[in-house]
């Protein structure tokens, strides 16, 4: 398994834009949670981000082994909507961090 995370883009395999445009926000909100403070916290393994200048939904590769149901749900969504993927090659502090 590659250590590089997958970025799901708004572009479909047919080079059309996937609609609705808020699908990234909707999906990350479903997977997010609230802690003691009233702030929404994104899942550690599924987060919106910009990859190569394009807004993407970044899915961590380690999610496949740590939370298979979430990984399968997100990837099935991408496959059923024929979304293109790209590699998120950020490293260091900019990379998505696995929770301790």
Q: Check residue 92 and give its pLDDT.
A: 78
Class of domain 5-88: alpha beta
Residue pair 58/52 in contact by the 8 Å Cβ criterion: no
Give me the residue spans of the domains in the chain: 5-88
pTM (2 d.p.): 0.79
Q: Check residue 1 and give its pLDDT.
A: 39
DSSP state of 93: G
65's tokens: 């082994």
Beta strands in 1-100 (DSSP E): 5-12, 33-34, 40-41, 46-51, 54-59, 83-88
Model pLDDT for residues 14-23, shown as the tens digit of each residue: 878 887 678 8
* CA angle, residues 32, 91, 86, in degrees to nearest 5: 70
Q: Check residue 9 and give its pLDDT.
A: 84
Model pLDDT for residues 34-79, shown as the tens digit of each residue: 888 888 888 889 999 888 888 889 999 889 999 999 999 999 999 9
Residue 10 has pLDDT above 90, yes or no: no
């Amino acid at each position: 398994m590659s250590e590089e995370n997958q970025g799901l883009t708004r572009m479909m395999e047919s080079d059309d834009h996937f609609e609705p445009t808020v699908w990234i926000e909707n999906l990350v909100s479903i997977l997010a949670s609230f802690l003691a403070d009233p702030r929404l916290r994104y899942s550690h393994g599924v987060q919106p981000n910009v990859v190569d200048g394009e807004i993407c939904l970044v899915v961590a590769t380690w999610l496949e082994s740590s939370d298979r149901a979430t990984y399968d749900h997100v990837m099935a969504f991408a496959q059923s909507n024929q979304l293109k993927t790209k590699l998120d090659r950020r490293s260091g502090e900019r990379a998505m961090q696995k929770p301790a």
